[in-house]
Amino acid sequence: MTLPPDLDPTDCRSRLIQAATEVFVEEGYRASVERVAVRAGVARQTLYNHFPRKADLFGEVVRQAIAALLVTLGDEGQTLRERLLRFGLAYRGKLLSAEGLGFFRAIVAETAHFPELVTNFYRTGPAQTAARLRTILEAAMERGELRRAKPDFATTMLLSMLVGADRIHYLFSGDPSPEPDPTLVGEIIDCYLRAFAPDPSRFATTTSQRSTS
């Protein structure tokens, strides 16, 4: 996972976060802080000055990754479809990248050994992403852009459509991670919007007009 744009690669703390991301993906949470310090090119004490515990460093890695995703939902000047497309591309890009799959594999492997860590990961990462997306979808329902449905259900459906089966495929098939595909994401988003359209015929007309323009 590359550094978010607001992190300076020449900054010591930024280098530690990038190094920790790489090491956690490669070796799992059990990787030593010494390995992270060496990868970042700093002394171990410097690492501890920034992150007193390994769990603090891991939590910051998760926070940075999720922050980059949440930014994609922040532009209220875009249409709902545009916002979901932007989010969908970023979401698939992060979770289905080689680094994203490796990180997922690493955290699942630690579930039995570090349950509190895994719970914190869920609350800091996936739960925050779902909560922000839920807010967007619920607001769209209020405006009449989506049909009334349970917001949690609507959120789960979209996240599952974007990644669910594909993540299982790329985790176990041995196939390389997919390249970002705006066309595929557009098809997923349009399928989702059709399913939750307040007036399916209106959405079908809009989609037809868009495809012929």
DSSP structural state of residue 78: S
CA 4 → CA 11, 17, 76, 153, distances in Å? 13, 10, 21, 30
Task: Considering only CA atoms, give the Rg of the chain.
Answer: 19
* pLDDT band at 3; cut points 50, 70, 90: very low
pLDDT digits (tens, 9 = 90+) for 157-200: 999 999 999 999 999 999 999 998 999 999 999 999 999 999 76
Average pLDDT over residues 34-38: 94
pTM score of the predicted model: 0.76
Domains of the chain: 1-71 (1.10.10.60), 77-213 (1.10.357.10)
Average pLDDT over residues 68-75: 73
pLDDT value at residue 10: 58
Q: Which of 71, 81, 107, 62 is nearest to 192 (CA)?
A: 81
Distance CA 154, CA 40 (A): 41
pLDDT value at residue 117: 78
Confirm if 46 and 154 have CB atoms less than 8 A apart: no
Distance CA 152, CA 154 (A): 5
